[in-house]
Amino acid sequence: MAGINDKCIGCGTCSLMAPELFKMEGIPAQLIKQPTPEEKEQYDLARGACPADAIEEF
């Protein structure tokens, strides 16, 4: 499972890089759904680009 923790600073990078997965409606950003295997690369890129290390797996 993936989620966004309270380190999110609301920069919007994740929703720009993977709009099917992340949306900005306040802070923290929201994960719309868990990534499918086909979306995993896009998800990983967005996760890697998060400046606050706020997208986590648990």
Task: Indicate whether 50 belongs to the interface with ligand SF4 (CB under 6 A).
Answer: yes
Task: Indicate whether 14 belongs to the interface with ligand SF4 (CB under 6 A).
Answer: yes
Task: Indicate whether 54 belongs to the interface with ligand SF4 (CB under 6 A).
Answer: yes
State whether the Cα torsion 11-27-21-52 is positive or negative: positive
| Burial of residue 36, with CB atoms counted within 10 A of its CB: 0-12 exposed, 13-18 middle, 19 or more buried | exposed
Task: Indicate whether 11 belongs to the interface with ligand SF4 (CB under 6 A).
Answer: yes
Which C-beta is closer to ligand SF4: that of 28 or that of 35? 28
Phi then psi for residue 8, to 5 deg, are -55, 130
Near ligand SF4 by CB under 6 A: residue from 18, 21, 29, 35: 29
